[in-house]
């Protein structure tokens, strides 16, 4: 049971107490660049475009308020995680390009931190790295393979931790082993989104909130309040892309849910540790992700209801009670020390998943239409890289960024319903069965999960 109701339409705990103030589009107008979506992708693109060319008239249109989507509901991992499958991208575009992509993402972690400092954005940033943990033999085997892969992709600073070494950082129940990756920072995601919105305001970008876009075409974005005409129109709609005409099957809106506890007493933190504020995840197929928040809560998430039939979107982050119960059980299984701490908030949101699980950035010079997204849940840092890349593409600047392998990458569309719903639901039921099997002592990855990954085309 929640101790109180979330504010701001139940969107997420992260918006608790943050103001929502911008008005809607007052009528049709012209611009040089129109950006659809005021999440991280749209805001970063506006930021870098305006800094590169202050003369540009840039308008950002947002259906609700800045950060309303995944940008204000995510787990707060500012990490170098690649939004895709490195091996598959290497086969298609070459290994050197993927190594460069990985390095660019690692560098983007520091770029976000630097911009936040420059713009005075207090997003609770602590670059404590991330801990990936294993809680059984099969998970430990996958964990070792994952760490070897990080080193093979030239990710520096990755460190294997024995159970004892990992326990010095955080006291997790049932932990077998862990590895540490330094390329991650804990953030308060909504504060980053709202701070970015304020920063682009100061630069002279105009953001219209409460302005849903009903159609995007060459030279224009149509809304109920008027049309913005611009030679450049950029789509930054991520998990809400399926709501636009003609794009229902382009990217699948995958649902992810979170809960946050009440602030933990000092004596509970003394038993847990977690002084480094590392982000925390595991190698289960139905994985969790967590952080120690700025105000000393624990926020933890997972895929409880991964997909809604017909690519439907949640209603303002409202989350079923059974999801809160499941996430609470996960939290108590890894940290029984918090079993007496109430759960304060629960929420959910959607992220975009392309059919091949590979994100993309693209811009068509002929039509002036561009887009970025499909981050498969690894978008907090990738959006910054995408925004800088879109800036170079729009301004016709060839750069190391425009040569990265995700630029211009094309994915197939998802299957029509009911195949889409059956496939995704079947995949997560298979993962649940695989985790159950592995928890009972098998030393290798369950073949159920292997088959599910192959059918879904998911990285593994």
Whole-number Cα distances in Å, 417 to 80, 350, 369, 452 = 34, 18, 28, 19
Report the distance separating Cα 370 and Cα 365, nearest Å: 9
Give this prediction's pTM: 0.95
Query: Per-residue confidence at 4, pLDDT binned at 50, 70, 90?
Result: very low
Report the distance separating Cα 108 and Cα 127, nearest Å: 13
What integer pLDDT is reported at residue 405 of this predicted model? 98
- Concatenated DSSP letters for 120-171? T-----B---EEEEE-SHHHHHHHHHHHHHHHHTT-TT-EEEEHHHHHTTB-
User: Is the pLDDT reported for residue 44 higher than 70?
Assistant: yes
Query: Per-residue confidence at 454, pLDDT binned at 50, 70, 90?
Result: confident
What integer pLDDT is reported at residue 8 of this predicted model? 35
Which region among 70-84, 316-330, 441-455 has the lowest average model confidence (pLDDT)?
Answer: 441-455
User: Is the pLDDT reported for residue 430 higher than 50?
Assistant: yes
CB 391 within 8 A of CB 115: no
The residues with which 58 forms a beta bridge, in sequence order, are 33
Which region among 1-5, 188-192, 203-207, 220-224 has the lowest average model confidence (pLDDT)?
Answer: 1-5
User: Is the pLDDT reported for residue 180 higher than 90?
Assistant: yes
Whole-number Cα distances in Å, 277 to 31, 72, 295 = 43, 20, 12
Contact residues for 332 (Cβ-Cβ < 8 A; gap 6+): 338, 339
Query: Per-residue confidence at 2, pLDDT binned at 50, 70, 90?
Result: very low
Tell me, rounded to whole angstroms, the distance of Cα 89 from its chain centroid. 20
Query: Per-residue confidence at 20, pLDDT binned at 50, 70, 90?
Result: confident
Report the distance separating Cα 108 and Cα 383, nearest Å: 9
Parse the chain into domains and list their residue ranges. Answer: 417-460
Report the distance separating Cα 374 and Cα 379, nearest Å: 8
Query: Per-residue confidence at 10, pLDDT binned at 50, 70, 90?
Result: low
Helix H segments across 204-296? Answer: 266-272
- Determine the 3-state secondary structure of 90 from DSSP: helix
Cα dihedral sign, 5-9-13-19: negative
User: Is the pLDDT reported for residue 392 higher than 90?
Assistant: yes
What digits encode the pLDDT tens for the residues 58-108? 999 999 999 999 999 999 999 999 999 999 999 999 999 999 999 999 999
Report the distance separating Cα 264 and Cα 297, nearest Å: 6
* Site of tokens 């920063």: 199
**Token code pair at residue 56:** 């540009």
Q: Stretch 329-346: mean pLDDT, rounded?
A: 96
**Token code pair at residue 171:** 């006291």
Which region among 203-217, 324-338, 433-447 has the lowest average model confidence (pLDDT)?
Answer: 433-447
């Amino acid at each position: 049971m929640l101790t109180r109701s979330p504010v701001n339409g139940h969107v997420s705990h992260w918006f608790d107490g943050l103001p929502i103030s911008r008005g809607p589009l007052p009528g049709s107008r012209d611009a040089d660049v129109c950006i659809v979506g005021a999440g991280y992708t749209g805001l970063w693109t506006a930021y870098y475009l305006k800094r590169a060319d202050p003369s540009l008239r840039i308008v950002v249109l947002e259906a609700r308020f800045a950060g309303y989507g995944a940008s204000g509901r995510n787990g707060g991992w500012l990490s170098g995680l690649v939004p895709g499958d490195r091996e598959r991208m290497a086969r298609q575009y070459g290994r050197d390009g993927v190594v460069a992509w990985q390095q660019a993402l690692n560098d983007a972690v520091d770029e976000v931190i630097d911009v936040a400092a420059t713009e005075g954005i207090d997003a609770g940033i602590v670059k404590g790295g991330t801990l990936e943990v294993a809680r059984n033999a099969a998970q430990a085997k996958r964990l070792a393979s994952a760490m070897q892969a990080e080193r093979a992709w030239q990710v520096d600073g990755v460190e294997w931790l024995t159970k004892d070494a990992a326990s010095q950082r955080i006291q997790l129940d049932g932990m077998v082993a862990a590895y540490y990756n330094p390329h991650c920072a804990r953030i308060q995601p909504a504060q980053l989104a709202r701070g970015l919105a304020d920063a682009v305001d100061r630069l002279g970008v105009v953001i219209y909130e409460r302005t849903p876009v009903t159609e995007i075409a060459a030279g224009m974005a149509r809304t109920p309040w008027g049309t913005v005409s611009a030679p450049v129109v950029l789509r930054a709609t991520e998990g809400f892309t399926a709501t636009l005409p003609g794009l229902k099957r382009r990217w699948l809106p995958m649902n992810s849910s979170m809960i946050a506890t009440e602030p933990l007493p000092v004596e509970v933190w003394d038993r847990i540790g977690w002084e480094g504020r590392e982000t925390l995840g595991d190698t289960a197929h139905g994985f969790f992700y967590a952080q120690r928040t700025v105000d000393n809560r624990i926020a933890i998430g997972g895929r409880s209801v991964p997909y809604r039939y017909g690519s439907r979107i949640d209603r303002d982050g409202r989350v079923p009670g059974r999801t809160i119960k499941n996430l609470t059980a996960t939290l108590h299984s890894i940290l029984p020390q918090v079993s007496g701490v109430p759960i304060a908030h629960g929420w959910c949101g959607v992220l975009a998943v392309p059919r091949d699980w590979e994100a993309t950035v693209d811009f068509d010079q002929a039509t002036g239409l561009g887009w970025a997204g499909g981050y498969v849940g690894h978008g907090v840092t990738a959006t910054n890289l995408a925004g800088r890349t879109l800036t170079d593409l729009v301004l016709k600047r060839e750069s190391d960024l425009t040569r990265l392998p995700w630029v211009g990458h094309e994915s197939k569309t998802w299957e029509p319903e009911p195949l889409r719903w059956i496939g995704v639901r079947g995949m997560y039921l298979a993962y649940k069965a695989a985790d159950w099997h592995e928890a009972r002592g098998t030393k290798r990855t369950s073949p159920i999960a292997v088959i599910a990954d192959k059918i879904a085309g998911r990285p593994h």
